[in-house]
Structure 1
């Protein structure tokens, strides 16, 4: 994974956003800071970070997994909570495969010639 993720060097590429789309970058940073502000939200920060970790695992974003697992621990999450967040993500991802697999049956059935069905 270290071949893919370089915490220090990868950040240097943010300069492209700063140069090309500074207004969007500013809006995104403000949005992200609002979502993950320490106080003033109905869901405590630790749980928002665990949700973010699960989403990162589901989308397979190594940057999100890295950042939100660390932030979750800093917000008070323990190994058991990290493990459960990972299992939740795994269940949702598997459930998506199950549900979308049904579409294969549905679309496959539409390919059958009605004269050849029993």
Structure 2
């Protein structure tokens, strides 16, 4: 899917949102702007951008990784902080596999293992 990520080409398709669902696009942009406002939030912008970056690594959204890396750096994030955000995402993804493995073992325990 990341092969579809081309900022210039992609903007052309983004215009469809503006044409077909302008009210929803406007609401989304206002929401996003409120979430990432420089001032007026309890969590400083740098930390919100790093949180967004961890989520972007987890969801593997190329657009979000690009935008929130830029936002994090602009808000003062260092390479070390960006690296730690990536490790946080990796730990959570690994933790998800671990806990889902426990669920599989729970299901397995209810099954007859005789062949």
Using the size of structure 2 for normalisation, the TM-score is 0.92
Structure 2 distance, partners of 1:72, 1:36, is 11
**Who is 2:41 aligned against?**
41
Q: Which runs of 5+ in 2 are unaligned?
A: none
Indicate the SS of the match to 1:13. helix
CA-CA distance at 1:3 after TM superposition: 3.6
Equivalent residue number for residue 31 of structure 1 = 31
Alignment of 1:47-58 (within 5 A): 47-58=47-58
- The 1:20–1:60 alpha-carbon spacing in structure 2 relative to 1, beyond 3 Å, is same
**SS of structure 2 residue aligned to 1:83:** helix
Aligned to 2:67: 67
CA drift at 1:108: 1.5
Q: CA deviation at 1:89?
A: 0.6
State the Cα distance separating 1:18 from its structure 2 match: 1.2
Residue in 2 aligned with 1:88?
88
What TM-score do the two structures reach when normalised by structure 1?
0.90
Cα distance, 1:15 vs structure 2: 1.4
Consecutive unaligned residues in structure 1, runs of 5 or more: none
Detail structure 1 runs of 4+ shifted over 3 Å in the superposition: 1-4
Cα distance in 2 for partners of 1:25, 1:32 equals: 10
CA distance in 2, matches of 1:2, 1:97: 23
Number of equivalent positions: 114
